[in-house]
Amino acid sequence: MVVFIIAIYVYRMWYRLSVPLGCMSCGAARMRYHLHKRIQMTPVLELRGVSKRFPGHAALDGVSLAIHQGEFFSLLGPSGCGKTTTLRVVAGFEQPDAGEIFLGGALINGLRPYQRNVSTVFQNYALFPHLTVYENVEFGLRRRSSTGIREKVRAALDLVQLAGKETRLPSQISGGERQRVALARSLVLEPDVLLLDEPLSALDPALRKQMRAELKSLQRRTGITFFFSSPTTRRKRSRFPTASPS
């Protein structure tokens, strides 16, 4: 009881002092509110000075960027500039030679891919050809021994408008539908960040336009942070919200 009273007293003293003094580091008026805001402002994904060398070639040279919760972050650049390498370093498929990667404020450099709550939609979708649409989406959840698998898979398939095609194999659906399966398979894992490596490049121009709009809408509806890579073209520059590594 005495400890409790002392704790209340200390808290009240701290609060009284903090309001008139404000934040010592940047002068915000109400430190309590300010601290709360600063916590929310922590990027969901941050790269600081990340470098990656392959034999005789620097693929990444001091890449720094910060992505906040719910953002659709587009990484645009010409072929060979390091887009895929950046995503692979974040996913844990490549180890950086220098620099730090933070996910949700925690350093993840040493973590294995399955220990990072990110999910990747690969350029070629990488679906299992012998598994049905349903089984492809279910696969990652089973590996995590998650609960409510059936409901989660159904919700993800609904989200990408594939309900009714659960029993088909990847060879029995269209290119656009295959991409939706790949999206559902990643979304169902509820990643902190969804990595999309040139997901539209395998589609014909009309489908690409449609999927571009669908991706944006999907990102808004789910609130999941998207980290998207795309080759640079003038037209694309004007269509996606963009941010480049600084």
Ligand X SMILES: Nc1ncnc2c1ncn2[C@@H]1O[C@H](COP(=O)(O)OP(=O)(O)OP(=O)(O)O)[C@@H](O)[C@H]1O
Contact positions vs ligand X (CB under 6 A): 54, 57, 59, 77, 79-85, 231
Shortest spacing between CB 67 and ligand X, in angstroms: 18
Minimum CB distance to ligand X smaller for 27 or for 55: 55
Residue 85 binds which entry of ligand X, Mg ion, none, with Cβ cut-offs from 5 to 8 Å by kind?
A: ligand X
Residue 81 binds which entry of ligand X, Mg ion, none, with Cβ cut-offs from 5 to 8 Å by kind?
A: ligand X
Residue 29 CA to residue 47 CA, distance in Å, equals 30
Q: Which has the closest alpha carbon to 88: 57, 116, 67?
A: 116
Minimum CB distance to ligand X smaller for 138 or for 198: 198
Minimum CB distance to Mg ion smaller for 69 or for 123: 123
Residue 162 binds which entry of Mg ion, ligand X, none, with Cβ cut-offs from 5 to 8 Å by kind?
A: none
Shortest spacing between CB 82 and ligand X, in angstroms: 4
Residue 104 binds which entry of Mg ion, ligand X, none, with Cβ cut-offs from 5 to 8 Å by kind?
A: none
Instruction: Tell me the site size for Mg ion, rule CB under 5 A.
Output: 2
Shortest spacing between CB 198 and ligand X, in angstroms: 6
Shortest spacing between CB 108 and ligand X, in angstroms: 19
Confirm if 226 and 73 have CB atoms less than 8 A apart: yes
Residue 91 binds which entry of ligand X, Mg ion, none, with Cβ cut-offs from 5 to 8 Å by kind?
A: none
Minimum CB distance to ligand X smaller for 80 or for 113: 80
Minimum CB distance to ligand X smaller for 47 or for 59: 59
Minimum CB distance to ligand X smaller for 134 or for 199: 199
Q: Which of residues 49-88 bind Mg ion (CB under 5 A)?
A: 83-84
Residue 80 binds which entry of Mg ion, ligand X, none, with Cβ cut-offs from 5 to 8 Å by kind?
A: ligand X
Q: Which two tokens stand for residue 137?
A: 């989406």
**3-state SS string for the chain:** CHHHHHHHHHHHHHHHHHHHHCCCCCCCCCHHHHHHHHHHCCCCEEEEEEEEEECCEEEEEEEEEEECCCCEEEEEECCCCCHHHHHHHHHCCCCCCEEEEEECCEECCCCCHHHCCEEEECCCCCCCCCCCHHHHHHHHHHHCCCCCHHHHHHHHHHHCCCCCCCCCCHHHCCHHHHHHHHHHHHHCCCCCEEEEECCCCCCCHHHHHHHHHHHHHHHHHHCCEEEEEEECCHHHHHHCCECCCC
Task: Please report, as ranges, the residues that interact with Mg ion according to CB under 5 A.
Answer: 83-84
